[in-house]
């Protein structure tokens, strides 16, 4: 019977580039998630739905939308697809049933996501990742070109559904149209109801949180979540097979990827921002047609960011920085859930109860503080432990056996000698 799962994945087995990309992604998503923690959910997509949008707050929103919204969740989705290939490939090499072990692992991720969504924060993405990965694992042996074609079509289908709804708005019943309008621009009564709920205790928050979680996991999932995330995972599989996400391509390739992705993406998204403000963020334009500029531009910018990070991992001067960011990525699940614990404690009634009181300019300061905390703690933690605490739990549940957790001092000494003797990276 295979016993390789008893040994944690060694540093030499890890793909450092993937850890660095994952670290950038998990830090970057907080820039947008902070709005969902601290404001009514409509404010995430519609900046006019809640809060001040003048002066510094306006610029914080513009830069967050331009540089962060959808970009980092896109990177994380690409990496999740690559991770499916890594996990199943290693499982198969060690004598396990790759799909069986993958489904067991994904079941526990699904459970963690459900607990996260219903007990802490409705904006959870783990449930979507778990459900999508149950499907995309069936495609893991497809050739890269087919993965890109099917992934691109799936990604485009979510866009098609949004455009179809936009085209159908004039023919909708008044009741259906009003429901969409209120979800985009909530009434004063709805805003006050949410503020009162999230400023109350944990039980008082539950009805609002459970309702929002259910809508995201059912209606939003089938409208765009499944098509978008599954498509990106398939594309991520292709990029992994081509060696793009592992840093196997030339330096010139990544320079072109970074320059093309960022320049084209920034142009498209900037144009979309101008058009949405010109349309006054109305429900007849912005949520469906107006959102498509950022939807497609973010894919380009995510690829551009990948190019920048992969170039950084090759630099000797940036080696210490990429090492720290890689540590954040190795503890991505722990850090993601920790962000929720910190932010809900700040904004919800069981903590400081600041929900609805912190403007966007103040939110970004909190983001910087959490970044500093996680960039400091993650590498320190991994000096002494093989995994982040949630990663350790997830792995132990996957293999149904307690995994090694604390590093032995002897292993640390051997690792230090090995690293000192290793040739420098190019």
Q: What is the pLDDT of residues 253-311, one digit of tens each?
A: 999 999 999 999 999 999 999 999 999 999 999 999 999 999 999 999 999 999 999 99
Q: Please state, as a whole number, how many other Cβ atoms lie within 10 Å of the Cβ of residue 323.
A: 15
Task: Say what the pLDDT of residue 409 is.
Answer: 55
Q: Is the sign of the CA dihedral 56, 57, 62, 64 positive or negative?
A: positive
Q: What angle do CA 233, 87, 298 make, to 5 degrees?
A: 20
Predicted local distance difference test score (pLDDT) of residue 231: 98
H helix or E strand, kind and range, residue 137: none
Residue with tokens 């914080």: 60
**137-154 mean pLDDT:** 98
pLDDT value at 425 more than 50: no
Q: How confident is the model at residue 176 (pLDDT cuts 50, 70, 90)?
A: very high
Asked whether residue 184 carries a pLDDT value surpassing 60, the answer given is yes
**Share above pLDDT 90 across residues of the chain, in percent, rounded to a whole number:** 89
The DSSP call for residue 168 is H
Per-residue pLDDT at 423: 36
Q: What is the DSSP code (8-state) at residue 120?
A: T
Query: 406: which strand partners?
Result: 385
Confidence (pLDDT) at 416:
45
Kindly tell me if the per-residue pLDDT of 76 is higher than 70. Answer: yes
Lowest mean pLDDT among 92-96, 116-120, 172-176, 393-397: 92-96
pLDDT of residue 418: 42
pLDDT band at 96 (very low <50, low <70, confident <90, very high): confident
Q: What is the mean pLDDT of residues 61-86?
A: 97
Write down the pLDDT at residue 94.
84
**CA 364 – CA 343 distance, rounded (Å):** 12
Give the pLDDT of residue 121. 97
- pLDDT for 46: 96
Residue found by looking up tokens 């995330």 in the block = 229
What is the mean predicted confidence (pLDDT) over 87-110? Answer: 92
Average pLDDT, stretch 354-379?
A: 97
- Is the pLDDT at 426 greater than 70? The verdict is no
30 contacts 121 by C-beta, under 8 angstroms:
no
Q: Residue range 333-339: average pLDDT?
A: 98
- Element containing residue 142 per DSSP (H, E): none
pTM of the full structure: 0.91
- pLDDT of residue 227 exceeding 50: yes
Provide the β-strand partners of residue 385: 406
HSE of 203, CA atoms in CB hemisphere, 13 A:
0
- Percent share of the chain, pLDDT over 70: 92
Supply the mean pLDDT for the chain. Answer: 92
Q: How high is the pLDDT of residue 410?
A: 44
pLDDT digits (tens, 9 = 90+) for 380-391: 999 999 999 999
pLDDT score for 14: 55
| CB-CB neighbours of 410 under 10 Å | 8
């Amino acid at each position: 019977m295979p016993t390789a799962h008893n040994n944690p994945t060694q540093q030499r087995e890890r793909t450092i580039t993937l850890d660095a990309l994952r670290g950038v992604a998990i830090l970057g998503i907080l820039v947008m998630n902070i709005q969902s923690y601290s404001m009514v959910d409509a404010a995430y997509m519609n900046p006019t739905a809640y809060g001040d949008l003048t002066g510094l707050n306006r610029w914080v929103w513009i830069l967050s939308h331009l540089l962060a919204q959808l970009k980092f969740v896109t990177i994380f989705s690409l990496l999740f697809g690559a991770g499916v290939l890594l996990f199943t490939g290693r499982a198969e090499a060690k004598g396990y049933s790759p799909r069986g072990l993958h489904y067991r692992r994904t079941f526990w991720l699904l459970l963690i996501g459900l607990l996260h969504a219903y007990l802490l924060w409705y904006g959870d993405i783990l449930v979507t990742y778990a459900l999508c990965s149950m499907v995309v694992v069936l495609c893991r042996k497809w050739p890269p070109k087919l993965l890109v074609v099917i992934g691109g079509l799936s990604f485009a289908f979510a866009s098609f559904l949004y455009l179809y709804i936009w085209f159908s708005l004039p023919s909708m019943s008044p009741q259906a149209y009003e429901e969409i309008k209120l979800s985009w621009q909530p009434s004063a009564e709805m805003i006050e109801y949410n503020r009162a709920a999230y400023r109350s205790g944990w039980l008082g928050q539950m009805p609002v949180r459970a309702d929002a979680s259910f809508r995201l996991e059912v209606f939003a999932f089938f409208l765009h979540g499944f098509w978008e995330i599954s498509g990106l995972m398939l594309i991520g599989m292709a990029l992994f097979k081509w060696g793009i996400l592992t840093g196997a391509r030339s330096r010139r390739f990544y320079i072109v990827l970074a320059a093309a992705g960022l320049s084209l993406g920034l142009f498209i998204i900037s144009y979309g921002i101008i058009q949405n403000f010109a349309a006054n963020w109305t429900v007849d334009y912005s949520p469906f047609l107006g959102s498509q500029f950022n939807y497609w531009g973010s894919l380009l910018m995510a690829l551009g960011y990948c190019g920048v990070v992969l170039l950084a991992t090759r630099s000797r001067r940036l080696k210490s920085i990429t090492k720290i960011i890689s540590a954040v990525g190795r503890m991505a699940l722990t850090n993601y859930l920790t962000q929720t614990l910190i932010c809900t404690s700040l904004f919800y009634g069981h903590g400081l109860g600041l929900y609805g009181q912190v403007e966007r300019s103040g939110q970004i300061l909190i983001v910087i503080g959490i970044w500093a905390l996680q960039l400091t703690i993650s590498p320190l933690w991994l000096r002494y432990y093989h995994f982040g605490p949630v990663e350790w739990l997830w792995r132990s549940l996957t293999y149904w056996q307690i995994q090694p957790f604390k590093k032995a001092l002897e292993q640390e000494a051997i690792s230090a000698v090995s690293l000192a003797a290793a040739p420098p990276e190019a």
